[in-house]
């Protein structure tokens, strides 16, 4: 019983390290892409299973790699100093094994999907790993994070279709701008830390007030991207309702975070973004069902 308790605690610790709850950000968009692909291609349960495994592998390896790369920075930041690697709850060796395992799992899942996914899997890993270094040299790091998650709907479509098409690229761009803009909001709470230690971010370069305005402008691109899919795929009123709800959520996200009051940043990033992704998936699915 004691060994089981220790095992469960370790699993939960790994879950906290990779912020497993954030999987809800990209996964609904990946499966929304699968839903849209069913308009043109055959979708099977086996494909959906391996897409899920690929998402699990990519997400886990990316977050584990990020924690390894950022461990010294995290130890200096009051907001992140209690994370698993700075505190020693997880060792560098353990984290490295974790990243290797889930990277291999992702590549194997890609192999099970189709040759194109398999050949592109190392490229996808390179992109999502590269994000972890960007804050050291460019204030566009937020968009690199967006790119990492924006690959999810593109990859899911490739898994079904075995080829590139325009709809997943537009959806991927929507996810890129959505996460990129949201990460700008999230980065506002580290403004003073980034300035002090020379880390690059849009808040660090332009200040918090301008950063929030930039985030709003980028979120407008998100809405335009999602809206364009309505016309490209000839989607109906159910998708339109979902689109309106997402627009309301994005506006609300910006209303609750103010330059002089960042107390709701975590709520805006975690809770509101989770609602955006799940709303998009639910209404996209309902559109094709009815």
Instruction: Average the pLDDT over each of 162-171, 226-235, 267-276 and give the range with the smallest value.
Output: 267-276
The residue whose two tokens read 């809800």 is 24
pLDDT at 65: 95
pLDDT band at 84 (very low <50, low <70, confident <90, very high): confident
Residues in the chain: 290
pLDDT digits (tens, 9 = 90+) for 195-238: 999 999 999 999 999 999 999 999 999 999 999 999 999 999 99
- Structure tokens given for 262: 């960042």
Q: How many CA atoms lie within 13 A of 6 on its CB side?
A: 3
Considering the entire predicted model, what is its pTM?
Answer: 0.93
pLDDT at 10: 53
Helix or strand or coil: residue 190? helix
pLDDT band at 52 (very low <50, low <70, confident <90, very high): very high
The residue whose two tokens read 């980028």 is 218
User: Do 202 and 211 touch, CB atoms closer than 8 A?
Assistant: yes
């Amino acid at each position: 019983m004691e060994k089981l308790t220790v095992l469960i605690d370790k699993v939960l610790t790994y879950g906290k390290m990779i912020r497993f709850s954030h999987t809800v950000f990209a996964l609904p968009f990946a499966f929304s892409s699968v839903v849209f692909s069913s308009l043109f291609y055959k979708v099977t349960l086996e494909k959906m299973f391996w897409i899920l495994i690929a998402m699990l592998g990519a997400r886990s390896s990316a977050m584990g790699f990020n924690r390894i790369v950022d461990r010294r920075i995290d130890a200096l930041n009051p907001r992140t100093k209690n994370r698993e690697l700075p505190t020693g709850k997880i060792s560098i060796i353990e984290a490295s094994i974790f990243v290797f395992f889930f990277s291999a799992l992702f590549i194997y899942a890609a192999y099970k999907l189709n040759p194109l996914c398999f050949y592109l899997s190392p490229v996808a890993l390179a992109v999502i790993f590269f994000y972890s270094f960007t804050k050291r040299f460019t204030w566009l790091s937020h968009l690199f994070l967006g790119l990492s998650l924006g690959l999810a709907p593109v990859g899911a479509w490739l898994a079904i279709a075995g080829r590139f098409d325009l709809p997943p690229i537009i959806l991927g761009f929507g996810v890129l701008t959505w996460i990129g803009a949201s990460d700008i909001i999230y980065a506002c709470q580290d403004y003073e830390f980034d300035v002090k230690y020379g880390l690059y971010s849009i808040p660090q370069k332009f200040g918090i007030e301008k950063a929030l305005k930039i985030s709003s402008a980028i979120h407008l691109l998100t809405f335009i991207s999602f809206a364009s899919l309505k016309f490209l795929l000839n989607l109906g009123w159910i998708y339109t309702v979902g689109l309106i709800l997402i627009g309301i959520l994005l506006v609300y996200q910006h209303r609750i975070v103010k330059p002089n009051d960042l107390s709701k940043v975590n709520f805006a990033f975690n809770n509101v973004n989770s609602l955006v992704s799940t709303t998009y998936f639910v209404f996209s699915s309902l559109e094709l069902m009815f």
